[in-house]
């Protein structure tokens, strides 16, 4: 199904509706940024005192999934705002709910990624027992994760996924679906490209401390730079260098990494941690 024709913005009494549509798009962007700000505040409050460094225990599934969804809104909504605004521009003659459904579909995909991450962490902890404790193999696994993430930054798949994230018009025209279900599907598909682009960076967050607001900020900053700045190659190569340096330091001299919490005999992430009060 093809995308709708561009909406005229001038002439014949169309100026006032155009201004109204522009205000609506600005309101949508402001809403996404406001939700991201609330997400940062709530996440920082919930994770206070919970950072145990690499492979921090993920807690009970329901609690982890809730905090993960809020984390993704905080980290990703600013970078997806241009795509959502363009989608709102293309659907301004339709329901104003569609852009919100688009954002909901995007977030739903990241929620699914969180379920996968929890399952992988739980399985790894159960299968390995204490073998993946920090003072056994945990440190080496964390360092290797960062090195793999650095290599992925320079891979063709990363390049393709990042291109989809940086070219919202091409994505929207190439995957257009009408109606509310179409908005959800398009948002989910955009989220899938974003997961393909950022999964290695998210794995790096687990390897550095998923409950650390500092490392969450660092990873979110790298994602924003890659998606929003005009220097695409500089951003990806710069991110690869940062991950490479962090990986080498984690293997050779973890004490040299600022803000890194070194676990004290902690096992790799499982789902057994009690809920915080």
* Cα–Cα distance measured from residue 153 to residue 201, given in angstroms and rounded to the nearest whole number: 9
* Site of tokens 């206070």: 48
pLDDT digits (tens, 9 = 90+) for 41-91: 999 888 888 888 888 888 899 999 999 999 999 999 988 888 988 898 888
* Cα–Cα distance measured from residue 40 to residue 216, given in angstroms and rounded to the nearest whole number: 10
pLDDT digits (tens, 9 = 90+) for 213-262: 999 999 999 999 999 888 889 999 999 999 999 999 999 999 899 889 88
pLDDT on residue 59:
85
Phi, psi of 3 (to 5 degrees): -75, 155
pTM of the model: 0.84
Q: Work out whether the CA dihedral 256, 257, 263, 268 comes out positive or negative.
A: negative
Integer CA distances (angstroms), 121 to 95, 127, 219, 237, in order: 40, 10, 19, 29
pLDDT digits (tens, 9 = 90+) for 6-44: 444 444 445 555 655 677 778 888 888 999 999 999 998
Which range has the worst mean pLDDT, 23-27, 86-90, 99-103, 134-138? 23-27
* Cα–Cα distance measured from residue 208 to residue 220, given in angstroms and rounded to the nearest whole number: 13
What are the residue ranges spanned by the domains of the chain? 15-256
pLDDT on residue 12:
46
pLDDT digits (tens, 9 = 90+) for 183-214: 999 999 999 999 999 999 999 999 999 999 99
HEC string for the chain: CCCCCCCCCCCCCCHHHHHHHHHHHHHHHHHHHHHHHHHHHHHHHHCCCCCCCCCCCCCCHHHHHHHHHHHHHHHHHHHHHHHHHHHHHHCCCCCCCHHHHHHHHHHHHHHHHHHHHHHHHHHHHHHHCCCCCHHHHHHHHHHHHHHHHHHHHCCHHHHHHHHHHHCHHHHHHHCCCCHHHHHHHHHHHHHHHHHHHHHHHHHHHHHHCCCCHHHHHHHHHHHHHHHHCCCHHHHHHHHHHHHHHHHHHHHHCHHHCCCCCCCCCCCCCCCCCCCCC
Q: Which residues contact 1 (CB under 8 A, 6 or more apart)?
A: 176, 177, 178, 182
């Amino acid at each position: 199904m093809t995308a709708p024709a561009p909406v005229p913005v001038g002439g014949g009494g169309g100026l006032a509706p155009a201004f109204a549509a522009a205000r609506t798009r600005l309101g949508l962007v402001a809403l996404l940024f406001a939700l991201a700000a609330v997400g940062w505040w709530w996440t920082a409050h919930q994770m206070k005192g919970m950072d145990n460094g690499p492979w921090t225990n993920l807690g009970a599934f329901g609690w982890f999934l809730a905090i993960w969804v809020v984390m993704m809104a905080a980290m990703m909504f600013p970078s997806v705002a241009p795509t959502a605004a363009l989608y709102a521009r293309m659907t301004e003659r339709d329901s104003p709910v569609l852009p919100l459904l688009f954002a909901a579909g995007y977030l739903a995909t990241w929620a699914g990624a969180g379920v996968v991450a929890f399952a992988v962490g739980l399985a790894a902890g159960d299968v390995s027992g204490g073998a993946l404790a920090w003072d056994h193999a945990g440190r080496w696994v964390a360092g290797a994760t960062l090195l793999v993430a650095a290599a992925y930054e320079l891979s063709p798949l990363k390049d393709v996924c990042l291109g989809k994230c940086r070219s919202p018009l091409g994505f929207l025209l190439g995957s257009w679906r009408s109606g509310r279900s179409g908005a959800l599907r398009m948002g989910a598909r955009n989220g899938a490209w974003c997961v393909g682009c950022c999964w290695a960076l998210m794995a790096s967050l687990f390897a550095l401390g998923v409950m650390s607001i500092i490392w969450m900020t660092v990873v979110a900053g790298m994602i924003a730079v890659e998606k929003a700045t005009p220097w695409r190659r500089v951003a990806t190569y710069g991110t690869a260098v940062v991950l490479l340096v962090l990986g080498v330091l984690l293997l050779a001299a973890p004490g040299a990494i600022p803000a890194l919490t070194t676990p004290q005999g902690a096992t790799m992430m499982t789902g057994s941690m009690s809920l915080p009060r």
